[in-house]
Structure 1
């Protein structure tokens, strides 16, 4: 597999979250994504909605737990401390490709510690290494297939574990 460098802005549309203070929040069922490293980024459940309403997207922290990021297949709204990364290649904007990219982006975590914010300008210019196809474009199919294989392997390990528990 051949890999090449891409800027995040070549691969994603980078969109902002919207500030929502604790005093403005109303309890509800809508996940609110904040700059945390826990609970898939969900910090509250609200009934509020705003321009950050999105789904099938990566939420990437640029404050708080910087560079930590989560895949959100469900509708949610995002704090202004979280950028929304939407894959430009709509044909491959699926769970497996997003989970592959989540891992690739996390490799930048160490770089953005101690006050060096992962802000919009740095995010646009940040490079990541991706597998490429024969045309030098990101090989989305490869990324999807590798993550499907990992998922199947995990499922089989869980089934094997539970089968062993039953048989003992």
Structure 2
């Protein structure tokens, strides 16, 4: 029985490995190589501030909702709190940190709903997803060096920030390319892990 299960496990691993190997055959270069500057407020037609006034006004809960604040750790999550319908903000957005020592200028992609402090501005775009969102945050974080306590990242300055991103043939952000690029990175990591497991099982 154990030999049978090992064969089944080996077959599943082999099939999964081939699946991710096929994904890596996507040729990223066919999707274009132009890059263009975009003003942040044009990339994100909806820019809204976080609603929370601070943790003194809300109850912590280990089983609650994510509470975002001025940190570059834990994907922006300071803690978890009891849901408050008036403060909850929709996920699938990029949260830009506008204030906070050591974290001003950072950004994070959030898939799930959350509560955020007023130190954050949330950017929404209909084409956004976790893959191109992660791509954009990597680019956006490069600007953080320009801000300090003498030069705050105000909502106005944030809206005028310039991001250099891949462009399609019409000059629009190439959302498909950014998504595929990040998917390929994910697939490479999974493929390497599965290859390692398969090699160990074959020894």
TM-score if structure 1 supplies the norm length?
0.89
Q: 1:165 to 1:33 in 2, by over 3 A?
A: farther
1:24 aligned partner: 57
**1:106 alignment partner, one of 134, 141, 159:** 141
Q: Aligned equivalents of 2:177 and 2:55: distance in 1?
A: 42
**1:138 alignment partner, one of 168, 173, 191:** 173
Please say which of residues 129-138 and 45-54 is displaced more in the overlay. Answer: 45-54
2:119 aligned partner: 81
Aligned runs of 1:55-74 on 2, under 5 Å? 55-64=91-100, 65-74=103-112
SS of the equivalent of 1:83 reads strand
Pair member with larger Rg: 2
Gaps of 5+ in 1: none
1:2 aligned partner: 34
Q: 1:163 to 1:115 in 2, by over 3 A?
A: farther
1:94 aligned partner: 129
Q: Aligned equivalents of 1:4 and 1:52: distance in 2?
A: 34
Q: 1:51 to 1:162 in 2, by over 3 A?
A: same
TM-score if structure 2 supplies the norm length?
0.75
Is contact 2:52-2:87 (8 Å) kept?
no
SS of the equivalent of 2:90 reads coil
Is contact 2:52-2:115 (8 Å) kept?
no
**Structure 1 or 2: more helix by fraction:** 2
Is contact 1:17-1:52 (8 Å) kept?
no
Q: Aligned equivalents of 1:116 and 1:163: distance in 2?
A: 52
Question: Alpha-carbon deviation of 1:160?
Answer: 2.9
